[in-house]
Structure formats: C-alpha cells, structure tokens
C-alpha cells in the first residue's frame, strides 16, 4: 500500500467472492505482502504449461484454425499484444487500484472483444467450487479492458484445457505410428465456461477489500475458518 492506496490483483479480488472468504486471513496475508510462512511455491511445470498454452492459441489465431479448436472463438480475428494498464477506482471511501494481466484478449470481426482466461484442469466438482473466484477474476480483467478502451466486450470466457488421461487415450497414443519415439504425449481437450458480465460486482468487491485493508487491526477470527484455527494453534504452540 502506498499513500493509503491499495493495489489488488484480479485473482486476489476473486477471493472475496468465495463462500468461505475470511476477512482476517485476507488482512493478514495482504499486510505480509503474501509472504506467508511455510508457503511452498508451485512447480515450475505449471508456468511452462501456461506459457505454452498462450503461444499455442496465438498460433491457432494466426493460422485461422481457432474455430476448429474452440468454436466459441470463431468470430476472433486476432489476439491483442498490448498490456492493459492498471485500473484506478475512486469511491467515497478512497482509492484502490486493480492490477492483473488476462491470458488473452481477442479482437473480433465485428469490432468487439473477448476476454479469456485459461485453466489447465478438468471441469470437476472441485473446480466448480472455485468458479466464484475465477469468474470475478475474469470480470476484473474485463473491467480493466473496458477502461483501456477495448469495448464493446462480447464474451468473457474461461477455457478449461482438460487432460485426456484415460486408458483408452494411452492406447491410442501408443498405437499411433506417427508419434515420435521417446516422447510421452498428453492431449488437452478444451471445455468452455461462459461468464456473465458484472462490472458493478468488481467495483463493489474492490471497495470491500480496500475497507478491510484500511482497518488498523485484523478483523475478528471466524470459528469456521481453517486458517484462523491454524494461526491460533501456532500462536498457542509458540507461547507455551
């Protein structure tokens, strides 16, 4: 936080939409700059997959094969290369800045735009439980894109790239004579989740986050919050 202005990423903002959101944990983690103890960084393979996915979609768009892979993007004419700027939001209680970089913004043939976020995961029940977070994340990117002049927005999409890992997929790959020897293949199948636009939700959550972070002390713990219980146990342990 600089000069009383909080910077909040689109993904972090999505946490406020989760049913089990805990203001106390949010306050503590943000005040620590997200540098919480015992945090294990994710394996580097996920960054490699993310970068590969973005390049793959760029190639699809350039080769006019995007509609074959994702029919929902059949109207896309190309992918924007510009980085959208952070969005400053002023409200009656102060100012907050929304940050983040969407995976892709497609320019469409009808002069509209589509905001997309990629997830390398199956659309399972566990993933469905994270939808409130992901939907706010993409809506936040949309708000940033509109503020930067990319409008109208026609679609907001989450594209799940679901790994095909069944035994039948293994057999298909092993029987394919065109596969290069010495390589293990993993195919990804797209599943598209459409998101309704809701810019007012984004600004409402930004204001809520900013008010929480301006509190001089952390909010009271929630009994139902697992992390609050862990913090209490850690504090009890170190004070014995």
**What is the secondary structure of 58-119 as a DSSP string?**
HHHHHTT-HHHH-GGGTTEEEE--SPPPPEEEEETTEEEEEE---SEEEEETTS-EEEEEEE
Q: What is the mean pLDDT of the chain?
A: 92
pLDDT attached to residue 95: 96
Contact predicate 228/221, CB 8 Å: yes
Top mean pLDDT of 63-72, 133-142, 222-231 is at 133-142
> What are the pLDDT digits (tens) for 193-231?
999 999 999 999 999 999 999 999 999 988 789 988 888
CB-CB neighbours of 159 under 10 Å: 21
Nearest Cα to 38, choosing from 236, 229, 191, 227? 227
Strand order in the sheet with 188-194: 76-79, 104-108, 113-119, 153-163, 188-194
> What are the pLDDT digits (tens) for 52-64?
999 999 999 998 8
Q: Which domains does the chain have, with CATH numbers?
A: 6-239 (3.90.320)
Looking at the chain, how many residues does it have? 240
Strand partners, 217: none
Cα–Cα distances in Å, from 169 out to 46, 111, 161, 164, 176?
Answer: 22, 40, 15, 6, 11
Nearest Cα to 192, choosing from 48, 50, 73? 73
The backbone region for 64, taken as left when phi is positive above 0, alpha when psi lies in -120 to 50, beta otherwise, is left
31-37 average pLDDT score: 88
pLDDT attached to residue 82: 87
Q: SS3 of 157, please?
A: strand
Q: How confident is the model at residue 240 (pLDDT cuts 50, 70, 90)?
A: low
- Whole-model pTM: value is 0.92
Asked if the model's pLDDT at residue 1 lies above 70, the reply is no
Q: How confident is the model at residue 39 (pLDDT cuts 50, 70, 90)?
A: confident
152-176 average pLDDT score: 90
Q: SS3 of 131, please?
A: helix
100-127 average pLDDT score: 93
């Amino acid at each position: 936080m600089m000069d009383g202005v909080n910077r909040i990423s689109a993904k972090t903002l999505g946490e406020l939409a989760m049913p089990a959101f805990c203001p106390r944990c949010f306050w503590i983690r943000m005040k620590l700059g997200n540098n919480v103890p015992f945090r294990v960084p994710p394996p580097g393979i996920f960054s490699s997959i993310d970068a590969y996915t973005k390049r793959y979609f760029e190639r699809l768009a350039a080769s006019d094969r995007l509609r074959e892979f994702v029919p929902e993007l059949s109207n896309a004419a190309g992918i924007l290369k510009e980085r959208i700027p952070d969005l400053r939001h002023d409200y009656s209680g102060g100012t907050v800045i929304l940050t983040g970089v969407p995976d892709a913004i497609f320019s469409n043939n009808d002069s509209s735009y589509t905001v997309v976020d990629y997830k390398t995961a199956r659309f399972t029940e566990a993933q469905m439980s994270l939808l409130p977070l992901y939907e706010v994340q993409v809506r936040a990117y949309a708000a940033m894109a509109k503020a930067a002049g990319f409008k109208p927005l026609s679609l907001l999409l989450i594209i799940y790239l679901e790994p095909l890992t069944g035994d039948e997929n293994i057999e298909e790959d092993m029987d394919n004579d065109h596969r290069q020897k010495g390589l293990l293949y993993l195919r990804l199948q797209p599943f598209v989740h459409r998101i309704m636009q809701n810019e007012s939700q984004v600004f409402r959550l930004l204001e809520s986050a900013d008010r929480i972070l301006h509190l001089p002390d952390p909010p009271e713990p929630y009994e139902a919050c697992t992390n609050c219980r862990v913090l209490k146990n850690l504090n009890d342990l170190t004070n014995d």
